Structure 1
Amino acid sequence: MRCGHATSTTTGLRLRAKPTRVFVEWCWNARSQRKRRDMEGAIMATTALTAQDFEQTLTSNELVLVDFWATWCGPCKAFGPVYEKASEANPDIVFAKVDIDQNQELASAADIKAVPTLMIAKKGQIIFKQAGALRGSDLDDLIAQAKSLDLDAAKAQSEDAVKA
């Protein structure tokens, strides 16, 4: 029997009856238990960041991708599954999300002007920040570039350019 439906054993017809409070609670608990059981052992691919753990996450990990998003943002909703899929394919990278409505000070400090905005930090240094949703192939290419970037060589090249 499904929630809100009853099947007659003699006719096989599905009757829609008004569910009782007890039955609704049983359905809700059964659904919650199924969801909890399905999630056990699942690896969380993305991490929610707040102002308290943002800096530590960026400095204590080799490579961190941060998606600044909002619940009301259509492009954010479209980019979400792309970001999740990339996080599952790259377990060696920290994929984080910052809800700008819940973390307005952090969004302001990071100079976020539009959502979604993707920020990439390598060894605590921000190496990329761009607003706009990306296609899966573009995100994969960006991840490959970030992984292969020699940060020390890039810093040396930047310092040489400043001196000249």
Structure 2
Amino acid sequence: MPRHTGELAVHGHLQQREGETLLVVDERLSGHDTFLSTTLHLEQPVHVPELPVRILTFDDGTVLSPLDPVLPQERTGEEWSGTLLIPHGARPPAIPGDLAQAAAEAGVDTGGWSPAEARHLLTFLGEAGSASVRTERIGMIITALGDRS
């Protein structure tokens, strides 16, 4: 069984927290499993061909926490770049129950969304401030997806 199913180019800056040097990713990783250990091929500021890290994705960002303390603390603030080996690929988006029910009733397949389309549509739905706006947005999503068939 392969150790990873995908590769993802990542970059960010080094940050010091509680005596550890963390790799803060510039763009939050979404759609990938978190709290998993994997490998980062670090290119800069130092070359580390296989740096074991834990992926920590929170609401406001993603941090890679090295499992071995190999990064010098004096490099805090420096930019870094590398390739993250993704152990399980991208997670399929979680379709909320109300949207799944409306899609099923309309005969619309939500399984064919691209990751970008899923992010866009689910963010659009998730930002609905009230139940009536959410219902209206579900209708808009179903209409748009139904028109593609």
Shorter-chain TM-score: which interval? under 0.3
The answer to which structure, 1 or 2, has the higher relative contact order (CA under 8 A, 6+ apart) is 2
**TM-score (norm. length: structure 2):** 0.22
Structure exhibiting the larger radius of gyration computed from Cα positions? 1
**TM-score (norm. length: structure 1):** 0.21
Larger strand proportion, structure 1 or 2? 2
